[in-house]
Amino acid sequence: MKSTREPFPDFLDRVVRADRRILILAFLGMILVGGASFWFGITSESPQRTWQAFLINFLFWTGLAYGAVLFSAALNMTNAHWARPMKRLAEAPGAFLPFSFVFFLLLYQGRESLFHWIHEPVPGKEWWLNVDALFVRDGLGLFLLMTLSLTLIYFSIRSDFKWKGALRSNAISPSETPVQHSEALRSSGGWRAQLVLSPVLGIVYALVLTLIAVDLIMALDPHWVSTLFGAYYFIGSFYSALAALLLMTVVATRLEAFDEVIRPKHLHDLGKLLLGFCLLTGDFFYSQFLVIWYGNLPEETRYVILRIGQSPWEPLAWIVLFVCFAMPFVVLLNRRIKMKPFPMLILTTVILAGMWLERLLLVAPALWAGSGIPLGFTEIFITAGFFGTMALCLMAFFKFFPLLPISDPLYHEQLESTRADGEH
């Protein structure tokens, strides 16, 4: 079987294999720096920039985490075999979701800095732009989505522990593989629960992230309305999640547990999916832009002109267009590049940075009144805090739960098929 261990920079290999305690201290340091920056910012005389950076990171990391769990649900909904080795990698960001919910509750403290319509009500929209109602409906939606996501992950992991328990108790022979018990695994309660929860999660994901997009992004500029914006946000979040999943998959190829499980074709298939959602996200952006331009309504065109035609946002808009859409499109057309770990590591990192900047472009122009782009130590430190939290959540998840979905019947069917192909 061909391994994915192709030439990889030595310093990156050392990072992947670094002592766990060193990584924990590094990520804790990021959290402390981010937390200190956040605290000093919100207690200063001008807390708006700090709350703005906090909101940008909440939108980016929360969308990414829910998008990753949706990928696992999509595998179940489509009965897909090809990506089963990455199923647990997709579920891992779910460990971040309880922290994300706490971060959402913290946003309530910054409501005065984020929503100017609290003091200047918009005529005719008071029934919706009510800050207490906003946080109640968004909080209930996020709690429901978080509960569904964690429940789906619970049933996935519980089956693995049951399989390990059966091995320890000699209820099954160690020489037997789960593929020999495929029918029993398919009829198990855990598997049936995953099949039921997955489509429900997909529907709730679209509804809740649409609500978040309307209330936490569109409401910052309450005179602008777009019926496509919610879909643009949740599709973009899934695009970010695919980039993060591909990045984690590349890192996983350096670990022994995944050495003979993840092969170049997995990177190639994930790359194709990433290309597809790059096009879809770009299409949603263009469709929204086209309608606004064609309608030529002042209350709508102002939103776009501010971001793509006025200083200081115009250069950032072109950077986002190039980094998130144009460059990935050209690179991902190449089949050979999609199968090489290091180029895909670089590409996915660039895409994630670009999507973070895209969230900045959506939020900051509605709030920022300064002369330049608000991209300095405040944004860097708060982003580092969110990144450290996500990284520690991933480390904790991989420490306590199996790296591979060993009780998933489709995983073993895919593994057997891959081995058969390798023998030929």
pLDDT, one tens digit per residue, over 119-165 is: 888 888 888 899 999 999 999 999 999 999 999 999 999 877 766 65
Q: What is the predicted pLDDT for the residue at 418?
A: 62
Please state, in angstroms and rounded to a whole number, the distance separating the CA atoms of residues 246 and 345: 8
**What's the length of the chain?**
424
Q: What is the predicted pLDDT for the residue at 318?
A: 94
pLDDT band at 424 (very low <50, low <70, confident <90, very high): very low
Count CB-CB contacts under 10 A for residue 406.
17
Query: Locate tokens 């904790």: which residue?
Result: 396
Instruction: Give the CA angle between residues 78, 412, 244 to the nearest 5°.
Output: 60
The one-letter amino acid code at 413 reads E
Quick check: 222 and 117 in contact, CB under 8 A? yes
**What rounded mean pLDDT belongs to the chain?**
88
pLDDT at position 169 over 60: no
Please report whether residue 184 resides in a domain: yes
The one-letter amino acid code at 399 reads K
Q: What is the predicted pLDDT for the residue at 407?
A: 78
Please report whether residue 13 resides in a domain: no
Whether the upstream peptide bond of residue 328 has omega within 30° of 0, thus cis, is no
Q: What is the predicted pLDDT for the residue at 96?
A: 98
pLDDT band at 304 (very low <50, low <70, confident <90, very high): confident
Please state, in angstroms and rounded to a whole number, the distance separating the CA atoms of residues 72 and 89: 9
Quick check: 397 and 156 in contact, CB under 8 A? no
Q: What is the predicted pLDDT for the residue at 423?
A: 47
Quick check: 85 and 413 in contact, CB under 8 A? no
- Dihedral over Cα of 185, 152, 208, 213: its sign: negative
Q: What is the predicted pLDDT for the residue at 174?
A: 44
The set of residues, in sequence order, having a beta carbon less than 8 Å from that of 11 and lying 6+ positions away, is none
Q: Which two tokens stand for residue 381?
A: 């430190």
pLDDT band at 302 (very low <50, low <70, confident <90, very high): confident
Q: What is the predicted pLDDT for the residue at 5?
A: 58
Please state, in angstroms and rounded to a whole number, the distance separating the CA atoms of residues 28 and 33: 9
Please report whether residue 324 resides in a domain: yes
Quick check: 34 and 385 in contact, CB under 8 A? yes
Q: How far is CA 405 from CA 255, 400, 412, in A?
A: 16, 13, 9
Q: How far is CA 148 from CA 199, 202, 208, 390, in A?
A: 11, 10, 12, 19
Please report whether residue 7 resides in a domain: no
Quick check: 52 and 365 in contact, CB under 8 A? no
Higher-confidence residue: 14 or 60?
60
pLDDT band at 422 (very low <50, low <70, confident <90, very high): low
Query: 86 lies in which domain range?
Result: 31-117+126-413
Please state, in angstroms and rounded to a whole number, the distance separating the CA atoms of residues 330 and 328: 6
Mean pLDDT of 80-93: 92
How does DSSP classify residue 189? H
Residues 248-286: tens digit of each pLDDT: 999 888 887 787 788 888 899 999 999 999 999 999 888
Q: How many domains does the chain have?
A: 1
pLDDT at position 3 over 60: no
Q: What is the predicted pLDDT for the residue at 413?
A: 75
Please report whether residue 385 resides in a domain: yes
Residues 324-355: tens digit of each pLDDT: 999 999 999 999 999 999 999 999 999 999 99
Rg (CA), the chain: 22
Please report whether residue 19 resides in a domain: no
Mean pLDDT of 395-420: 80
Q: Which two tokens stand for residue 292?
A: 């606004």
Q: Which two tokens stand for residue 100?
A: 């994300």
Please report whether residue 387 resides in a domain: yes
Please report whether residue 1 resides in a domain: no
Query: Among 41-55, 161-175, 305-319, whose mean pLDDT is lowest?
Result: 161-175
Please state, in angstroms and rounded to a whole number, the distance separating the CA atoms of residues 332 and 59: 26
How does DSSP classify residue 274? H
- Top mean pLDDT of 93-97, 306-310, 337-341 is at 93-97
Please state, in angstroms and rounded to a whole number, the distance separating the CA atoms of residues 325 and 319: 10
Residues 175-227: tens digit of each pLDDT: 455 555 566 666 677 888 999 999 999 999 999 999 999 999 999 998 888 88
Please state, in angstroms and rounded to a whole number, the distance separating the CA atoms of residues 262 and 3: 8
Query: Locate tokens 């980094």: which residue?
Result: 323
Please state, in angstroms and rounded to a whole number, the distance separating the CA atoms of residues 352 and 385: 16
Query: Locate tokens 């009829």: which residue?
Result: 187
